[in-house]
Amino acid sequence: MTTFSRIAVLGILGASLAITTSASANLIENGSFENPEVTTGTWDYFSSDDVAGWNGSNIEIWESGFNGVNAYEGDQFAELNAHPDMTDPFGIYQEIDTIIGQSYALSFAYRARESSAESFMLSLVGDGLSTDWTLDDHVTGSWSVFSGSFTATSLKTTIKFTSVSPEGTIGNFLDDVRVTAKVPEPGTLALMGLGLLGLGFRRRR
């Protein structure tokens, strides 16, 4: 293999890894609810304006280990139902930049607080996109993980979590919310690049 071809192959491999790394970045800001910080061993609630990335109703944030519940990821997690005296469903949401036609992977951890009968709704909203999932399968003793995907139909997509039953604080815990662009595996990209490189050298000969 010539020096030129070695450099070309390394360049393709490097570009493939770079594309994969950037595309796999989480588009959700503060998806593990680490900001603002809560005093160790306690919980607190905040206006959504004070919680980076999120909008909507007030958000209750727990420190990992409080009441025997450990965070799924990081040091903190959120409870969707933040107050006992609300008469309307709680809802928090985040709007992210998306590319029309691009597929995205969506995942998050969720857990019931005191009743396994608790439920909440996940919504995806954009121009030409309106999808809802009702999640009622979570339990009190461990975290469950939702994993799904969607194809963006607009330059902005909103991810929203809404409580189904607003009464009481027997709430729904959320943690590690992630949205990432779906791309081919690095090996697939490298093989594609090598194939194109081979065609180029064949034509040159």
| Same structural domain, 1 and 36 | no
| Same structural domain, 118 and 167 | yes
Between vectors from CA 51 to CA 97 and to CA 22, what angle results, nearest 5°? 35
- Our count of domains for the chain comes to 2
For residue 114 the two structure tokens come to 């005191």
CA distances from 14 to 26, 123, 191 (A): 21, 37, 13
Strands (E), 12-119: 43-46, 55-56, 59-63, 76-79, 91-97, 103-112
- At residue 200, does pLDDT exceed 80? no
| Same structural domain, 48 and 122 | yes
The number of residues in the chain equals: 205
DSSP-based three-state secondary structure for 60:
strand
Range of the domain at 196: 1-24+185-205
Least confident of 5-19, 107-121, 135-149: 5-19
Count of beta carbons in the 10 Å neighbourhood of residue 12: 18
Count of beta carbons in the 10 Å neighbourhood of residue 38: 21
d(C-alpha 197, C-alpha 205), whole Å: 13
Mean pLDDT score of the chain: 82
| Tens-place pLDDT, residues 53-66 | 999 988 999 999 99
| Same structural domain, 89 and 169 | yes
d(C-alpha 115, C-alpha 173), whole Å: 12
- At residue 123, does pLDDT exceed 70? yes
For residue 128 the two structure tokens come to 């030409």
Omega of the bond prior to 36 within 30 degrees of 0, cis?
yes
| Tens-place pLDDT, residues 6-53 | 333 334 334 444 444 445 899 999 999 999 999 999 999 899 889 999
| Tens-place pLDDT, residues 76-104 | 999 998 776 666 788 999 999 999 999 99
| Same structural domain, 15 and 112 | no
- pLDDT band of 154, cuts 50, 70, 90: very high
| Same structural domain, 90 and 11 | no
Pick the more confident residue, 25 or 166. 25
Between vectors from CA 39 to CA 52 and to CA 109, what angle results, nearest 5°? 55
Give the pTM. 0.79
Please, where are the H alpha helices in the chain?
3-23, 186-204
CATH of the domain at 145: 2.60.120.260
Give the distance from CA 123 to its chain's centroid: 13
